[in-house]
Amino acid sequence: MLAIEEWKKSSNSVIEMMGTKMMEKFQVYWSGVRDMMGVAAVLDPTKKMVVLDFWFPKLYGRDS
């Protein structure tokens, strides 16, 4: 994701456009995967709620 952000800042318009399109696709993909990973983390007996307690506020804000 960091590489894509750098491509979006490129002075080359082709690379900038490619980075923008890639980031849009990445966001669409990640929005679906994020929820599935949360469910998998809860169901994993070694992780339980620790993972969600850590990531949920980072993804959705402290007030969520």
From CA 22, how far away is CA 51, in angstroms rounded? 28
Q: Which domain holds residue 8?
A: 3-61
The span from the CA of 44 to the CA of 46, in Å, is 5
Q: What is the pLDDT of residue 12?
A: 92
> Which pLDDT score is estimated for 48?
73
Closest CA to 34 of 45, 23, 26, 22: 26
Token duo for residue 10: 């490129």
Question: How many residues are recorded in the chain?
Answer: 64
**Pair of tokens at residue 20:** 């923008």
Per-residue confidence (pLDDT) for residue 49, from 0 to 100: 76
What local confidence, expressed as pLDDT, does residue 18 receive?
A: 92
Tally the domains of the chain. Answer: 1
Position 3 scores a pLDDT of 85
Q: What is the pTM of this model?
A: 0.50
pLDDT along the chain (64 residues), means of 10: 84 92 88 78 77 81 76
